[in-house]
């Protein structure tokens, strides 16, 4: 069954949509969830919640790319779950490593959040990513959206780990300058 056919099942409120989604994406979503929460039971719950959210969101929303839509939900649920747990749960996961790397952008891990600029920040990130060279964008998304390891990200971007590491470092510095210029970070 194709993604389009699965989406149609959601739109018809046919409960086979969930089973078909599971058949196709269970392992895929679990992998990303595991890379964030590092615990199989937590990851399973995040993925189950993803199916529930997908069911409730369609037909109001028609995803352009079903896999990307589902992974965004799973990613956020896994991050939310991790934040809910104690800080030490982050250790030993790719999420923890990525989180530390973003210290190049925001140095203080205890920096206060300013919710009032969330919309501006989201829009700015989209612009920043769009203007990045393709390789740099794939690397950045690989590390900070999918939380893939540096080794895996470098491999599917077709470059050495050392080159990927340098490129990511430069991109983080560039992001910091960009956010400062946009008035979103001081």
Q: Which is nearer to another protein, 50 or 98 (CB)?
A: 98
Q: How far is the CB of 166 from another protein (least distance, A)?
A: 19
Q: Which residues bind another protein (CB under 8 A)?
A: 1-2, 23-28, 31, 63-65, 67-69, 71-72, 75-76, 79, 83, 98-99, 102-103, 105-106, 108-115, 117-118, 121-122, 124-126, 129-130, 134, 137-138, 141-142, 144-146, 148, 152, 155-157, 179, 184-185
Neighbour tally for 124: CB within 10 Å: 19
Q: Which is nearer to another protein, 15 or 80 (CB)?
A: 80
Q: How far is the CB of 143 from another protein (least distance, A)?
A: 10
Q: How far is the CB of 26 from another protein (least distance, A)?
A: 7
Helices 66-84 and 3-11, axial angle in degrees (round to 10): 70
**Measured between alpha carbons, how far is residue 63 from residues 4, 45, 74, 93, 162 in Å?**
9, 22, 15, 29, 36
Q: Which is nearer to another protein, 152 or 161 (CB)?
A: 152
150, 143 contact by CB (below 8 A): yes
Give the DSSP per-residue string, 102-150. GGGT---TTPPP-GGGHHHHHHHHHHHHHHS-HHHHHHHHHHHTS---H
Q: Which is nearer to another protein, 49 or 148 (CB)?
A: 148
Q: How far is the CB of 105 from another protein (least distance, A)?
A: 6
């Amino acid at each position: 069954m194709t993604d389009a056919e699965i989406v149609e099942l959601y739109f018809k409120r046919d409960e086979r949509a969930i089973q078909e989604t599971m058949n196709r994406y269970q392992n895929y979503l679990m992998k990303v969830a595991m890379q964030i929460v590092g615990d199989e039971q937590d990851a399973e719950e995040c993925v189950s919640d993803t199916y529930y959210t997908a069911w409730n969101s369609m037909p109001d929303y028609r995803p352009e790319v079903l896999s990307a839509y589902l992974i965004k939900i799973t990613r956020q649920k896994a991050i939310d779950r991790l934040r809910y747990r104690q800080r030490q749960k982050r250790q030993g996961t790719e999420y923890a490593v990525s989180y530390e790397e973003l210290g190049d952008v925001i140095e203080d891990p205890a920096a206060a959040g300013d919710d009032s600029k969330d919309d501006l920040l989201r829009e700015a990130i989209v612009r920043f990513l769009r203007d990045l060279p393709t390789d740099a964008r794939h690397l950045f998304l690989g590390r900070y959206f999918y939380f893939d390891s540096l080794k895996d990200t470098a491999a599917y971007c077709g470059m050495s780990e050392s080159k990927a590491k340098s490129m990511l470092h430069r991109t983080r510095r560039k992001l910091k300058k960009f956010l400062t210029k946009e008035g979103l970070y001081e």
